[in-house]
Structure 1
Amino acid sequence: MDFTRRRLLTTAAAASAAAVAMPNIMTSDKAYAAPLKKGEPIKVGLLFSLTGALAVPEEDSTLVLQYAFDEINKNGGVGGVPVEPVIVDAKSDFGVYSEKTKELILREKVTALFGCYTSASRKAILPTVMQRNHLLYYPTCYEGAECTQNTICTGPLANQHSQDLIPFMVEKFGKKVFFVGSNYVWPKESNKNAKIWLEKAGGELVGEEYIPLGSSEFGPVLGKIRDAKPDFIFSTVVGASDIAFHKQFKQEGFKVDSMPIASLTTGEIETRAMGAEFGAGHFLSAPYFQTLDNPTNQKFVENFLKSKYGKNGTTHYNMEETYLTAYVFKAGFEKAAAAVGFENVTPRAIRDNSGGIRVEDNISPEGLVWIDENNFNTWLKPKIGQCQADGTFKIVKAAAEHVKPDPYSIYPDAGTCTATGLKGPDGKLRTNVI
């Protein structure tokens, strides 16, 4: 029996929300937690875009979470009861993300939120999540420079992908680099990190351009790249724009063997959407690739693709990181229930019991990962893959050991992210964002 409800909430027009710094002050979560009762489903909110410029990666996040919760429910659920996802289409609109977050927490009274692909959307909803002392599972790479007490992240930080990718590309292709990104906080902050790794690798930045999120016009940027003659391009372009960028790169006559694109976002799903001929030869840094050769991944790929959720025909890094959030939630909820009792579990209680949680090799397609006890990001093994002619990726470099997530890797004077907040060198709590 399929216990999971998949109700698509209607969305209304909303003004774009500004990305604001989150306060450390939080209200009690008692008023906003779902009234849990043993035997009744646990409601969770799935806050992704099914339409608009961000739909290419985010639709798969919704699909794989439904798959994961089906899998969990068939194996006894969470704490012995099924999970009931409430699905939202955020329409690639930051105002809608913000509005639907309030609806999921206040009206639907979900126990946790799973959502967002961009840092702009995450920052649009975090003020509400923090104010209500709720819980967000954020399943993709981000820039760091943030220490919230209500977010658990399963994607890599900058020190877990670009720190390896930049020196690898400099060594293989040359020192001259051109940065291209979408115009919002993640690409800009990621490039601050990349510039430091580039300097340490002896590289040279020969250009830096940002295009509006969702834009498909890269003619002027490609003209500047042609003039600058870089050895490779470092891309933090996302969503539909990423697909347009790769297609126009090839259509304008640029050659991947002499000027490849090194990306933090262009995986199997983007390559499938653009056509493998436009992705072949380019590089991606990520902890997961569909071609990972281990029994758990082989089972995951086979079962997901033959399920009703595998309609897009591939798995990829963001999908796998999203899949992991379901199992991190399950473990955290059950640990909290053991500590405080099932009916007393709150979003904050789950978070407070999630430090150190491990997703073992037999569940995680990328292999063992675990949640850091202080900053609630994930320990993982970075990898670099090169896109092949069939759209799959050949892994060309992989870390031998897990890398600790460090949200302030380029801001050592900011302090240390702890379970109670960002502590400065003096030991006092500070504002949690740069």
Structure 2
Amino acid sequence: MDPNVPPSGASRRGFLKSSAAVLGGTLAAPLVARYAHAADTIKVGSLLDLSGALGSSGQGMYDTIRTAVAEVNSSGGLLGKQVELINYDTQTNIQLYSQYAQKLALQDKVAVVHGGITSASREAIRPAFDRFHTLYFYNVLYEGGVCDRNIFCTGTTPAQTVSKLVPYALNNTGKKAYIIAADYNYGQITAKWMAKYTRDNGGTVQAVDYFPLDVTDFGATISKIQSADPSVVFSALVGSNHTAFYRQWAAAGMLNKIPIASTTFGLVDEIHTLDASVSDGIVTAYGYYQEIDTPESQAFVKAVQAKFGSNIGYLSELPADNYEGFKLWAAGVKAAGSIDRMKVIEALESGISIDGPSGKVTIDHATHHVIRNAYLAKAKNKTWDVVKSFPDQKPDDTAAVCNLIKAPRTSKQYVIDVKA
């Protein structure tokens, strides 16, 4: 993902400067919306990277949760109260995630926390929210496997998207795949799913290469791929440094020779920040694209742009998930008639749905993940051409290891045994 780009517009000015930090061992004040000081509010926590390596990802997510909160407040709030949003800038720092998680739970006493971007950040704070009985929403696509009654995961999992991306690429290019991925749990596990779906669809995996997040020189790797001559390259590269691969791939004249299908490209606006000559033809599959032509998607884009300006950047699955995650929690509060954690959990487990920008999103009781649409798109002239949609996709990967109906006290992330 790209490094943080300083936000533009008066509405963002000073946010990063005033973001939470550890000063002299004391936690600094959080970012709080202007309605936060109302006498009687419902406090909602947010932990997002607004600076550091994942700052641009967090900023988009922060914009959309603020939009969702403003929409709820403008329509009367929840249970007759306004919602107070408290966000701490975790600065792509796991230690800060842990510190601020405890502060939100113990000092701010929030009703729910929406936060975390990487799986590492989620697993740093999930145990704290379990321990302090604070409801937690993780609104990011990830590798699957989290099974915990205190958390709801609203992003897509490999069974919902990778299972669509791989066969499409193989059927349209050929059956020989070369996999490149980030060298941490997301990349490693996603690469296994890529390999499984490749073999399931009659393909072969020529090689799997992993790269630490600080790698920027892919020259040797590109030479290896050229020698292997695969039909397609599957990419689960992550972060601003890894974006260099796509530039170097195009510079080597490979973009029009061997197609790329990716589970991460475009999540932080690479479609606009990179030239079309670098991105055209790359195929991805996500739970949301800004180009989806539905009234709900159009209203979402217009609402965020009206609040923060039309130059805020691309609204990918990450911002959409965060918006939908808050709206799902709000629906649970309304159904429960309370912000009590267990009452809200039980209300959400009843199968609550919302019509969000991505389409209908429904809580799956057994996994606390969501049943949602998936889409497949191809980069074309700095935009996404959505070529296929897959309604009501279930989180079957996580369902294979998690059943909170039968075992509600489960609290762990399973490493799913991916077998071809």
Correspondence for 1:397 among 382, 388, 409: 388
Q: Number of aligned residue pairs: give it.
A: 386
Deviation by residue 1:353-379 (Cα, 9 ceiling, x = unmatched): 21211112xxx1122111112211111
Match of 1:372 in 2: 364
CA distance in 2, matches of 1:178, 1:122: 29
CA distance in 2, matches of 1:432, 1:183: 19
Match of 2:314 in 1: 314
- Which AA in structure 1 matches 2:398? Y
Match of 1:12 in 2: 22
Match of 2:332 in 1: 332
8 Å CA contact 1:90–1:96 kept in 2: the answer is yes
Match of 1:417 in 2: 403
Match of 1:138 in 2: 138
Query: Structure 1 length as normaliser, TM-score?
Result: 0.82
Q: SS at 2:148's partner residue?
A: coil
* Structure 1: runs of 5+ lacking an equivalent: 15-37, 424-428
Alignment of 1:347 onto 2:338: no
Alignment of 1:157-306 (within 5 A): 157-255=157-255, 257-267=256-266, 269-306=269-306
Match of 2:398 in 1: 408
Deviation at 1:226, TM superposition (A): 2.3
CA distance in 1, matches of 2:275, 2:81: 42
1:44–1:100 distance in 2 versus 1, CA, 3 Å: same
Q: SS at 1:158's partner residue?
A: coil
1:123–1:283 distance in 2 versus 1, CA, 3 Å: same
1:353–1:92 distance in 2 versus 1, CA, 3 Å: same
Match of 1:30 in 2: none
8 Å CA contact 2:360–2:373 kept in 1: the answer is no
Q: SS at 1:379's partner residue?
A: strand
8 Å CA contact 1:290–1:297 kept in 2: the answer is yes
Deviation at 1:432, TM superposition (A): 5.2
Q: SS at 1:249's partner residue?
A: helix
CA distance in 2, matches of 1:39, 1:60: 29
8 Å CA contact 1:140–1:153 kept in 2: the answer is yes
CA distance in 2, matches of 1:13, 1:246: 39
CA distance in 2, matches of 1:312, 1:275: 18
8 Å CA contact 2:149–2:408 kept in 1: the answer is no
**Coordinate RMSD, CA, aligned:** 2.5
Query: Structure 2 length as normaliser, TM-score?
Result: 0.85
Higher fraction of strand = 2
1:188–1:289 distance in 2 versus 1, CA, 3 Å: same
CA distance in 1, matches of 2:275, 2:94: 29
- Which AA in structure 2 matches 1:417? N
8 Å CA contact 1:147–1:421 kept in 2: the answer is no
Aligned-residue identity in percent: 27
Deviation by residue 1:39-98 (Cα, 9 ceiling, x = unmatched): 711111211111122122221001111111111111111222111111111111222222
CA distance in 1, matches of 2:91, 2:278: 27
1:191–1:13 distance in 2 versus 1, CA, 3 Å: farther
Deviation at 1:149, TM superposition (A): 1.4
8 Å CA contact 2:348–2:363 kept in 1: the answer is yes
1:40–1:310 distance in 2 versus 1, CA, 3 Å: farther
1:372–1:12 distance in 2 versus 1, CA, 3 Å: same
- Which AA in structure 1 matches 2:60? D
Q: SS at 1:234's partner residue?
A: strand
Q: SS at 2:159's partner residue?
A: helix
CA distance in 2, matches of 1:52, 1:212: 17
* Structure 2: runs of 5+ lacking an equivalent: 1-10, 25-37, 416-420
Match of 1:88 in 2: 88
Alignment of 1:77-156 (within 5 A): 77-156=77-156
Deviation at 1:158, TM superposition (A): 1.1
8 Å CA contact 1:39–1:81 kept in 2: the answer is no
Deviation by residue 1:240-288 (Cα, 9 ceiling, x = unmatched): 1343222222123322x33222112222623223344322210110121
